[in-house]
Chains A and B, each alone.
Chain A
Amino acid sequence: GQQVMQIPQYQHVQEGEDFTTYCNSSTTLSNIQWYKQRPGGHPVFLIQLVKSGEVKKQKRLTFQFGEAKKNSSLHITATQTTDVGTYFCAALFQGAQKLVFGQGTRLTINP
């Protein structure tokens, strides 16, 4: 079936350390989106990646889409306490109409 695997499930870092979460699919994706969900909140759209090898940056966040369009990563440089939450990748498979979410990576930060 259409699944996207996301690792790690949990990540605890010291404030100021970097953080990375990865998503992988066994099949080629049309695009991949990233969402952030704060504790007790709802998913909030961060970014969409469409092109093979695409890299996008939002301040301390760097998003990458693999050359084969089967994997993606989100890297946060120098984490801050405001980065706490669960980060989900969400894949749009070719021919499909809905997003399939990864399991999410829950980021906690020690100040």
Chain B
Amino acid sequence: EPEVTQTPSHQVTQMGQEVILRCVPISNHLYFYWYRQILGQKVEFLVSFYNNEISEKSEIFDDQFSVERPDGSNFTLKIRSTKLEDSAMYFCASTTLWRGTGGYTFGSGTRLTVV
């Protein structure tokens, strides 16, 4: 069964450093998302991406965050200057249908620890 692949599985970074989280969505999927989950809490929307541009973003997704699809397969989330409160599990998701009809496929996540 096709999978969404995320790397790395765990990233530890110093506060103020830049991190790039990588995702390879399922190849025929068109809509891409980043969500995050602080330990034991709910899954929070960050950003959605379609046709090489952001289609929607949350208030969490401020100027410190950016997304890119640099080469038609990878989908990256960059945090420019990490804060302690950015520590969370970051999930990439993709779907083939508009508005996520039929469900999202999530990757296994990147656990980001900011120290």
Chain A contacts to B: CB under 8 angstroms: 30-31, 33, 41-45, 47-48, 88, 90, 92, 96-104
Known: A42-B91, A42-B108, A44-B106. A97 touches B99 (CB 8 A): yes
**B102 adjacent to A92 (CB under 8 Å):** no
Interface size class of B (residues with CB under 8 A): 20 to 34
**A101 adjacent to B44 (CB under 8 Å):** yes
Tell me if A's interface is mostly helix, strand, loop or mixed. strand
Chain B contacts to A: CB under 8 angstroms: 33, 35, 41-45, 48, 55-56, 91, 98-109
Give chain B residues whose Cβ lies under 8 Å from the Cβ of A45. Answer: 103-105
B8 to chain A, nearest CB (A): 15
Q: Which of B42, B56, B100, B106 contacts A102 (CB 8 A)?
A: B42
Q: Which residue on chain A has the smallest CB distance to residue B43?
A: A101
Query: Lowest 9 CB-CB distances: which A-B pairs, in order?
Result: A45-B103, A101-B43, A42-B106, A103-B42, A43-B106, A98-B48, A42-B108, A98-B45, A101-B42
**B91 adjacent to A48 (CB under 8 Å):** no
Query: 8 A–B contact pairs at CB < 8 A?
Result: A42-B91, A42-B109, A92-B99, A98-B33, A98-B56, A99-B100, A101-B35, A102-B42
Q: Which residue on chain A has the smallest CB distance to residue B44?
A: A101
Q: Which residue on chain A has the smallest CB distance to residue B99?
A: A97
A107 to chain B, nearest CB (A): 14
Q: Which of A41, A43, A88, A92 contacts B100 (CB 8 A)?
A: A92
Q: Which of B35, B56, B102, B106 contacts A48 (CB 8 A)?
A: B102
**A97 adjacent to B48 (CB under 8 Å):** yes
**B43 adjacent to A88 (CB under 8 Å):** yes
A5 to chain B, nearest CB (A): 11
Q: Which of B35, B41, B48, B100 contacts A33 (CB 8 A)?
A: B100
Give chain B residues whose Cβ lies under 8 Å from the Cβ of A104. Answer: 42-43
Known: A43-B43, A88-B42, A103-B42. A97 touches B56 (CB 8 A): yes
Give chain A residues whose Cβ lies under 8 Å from the Cβ of B44. Answer: 101
Residue picked from A44, A45, A103, most chain B C-beta under 10 Å: A45
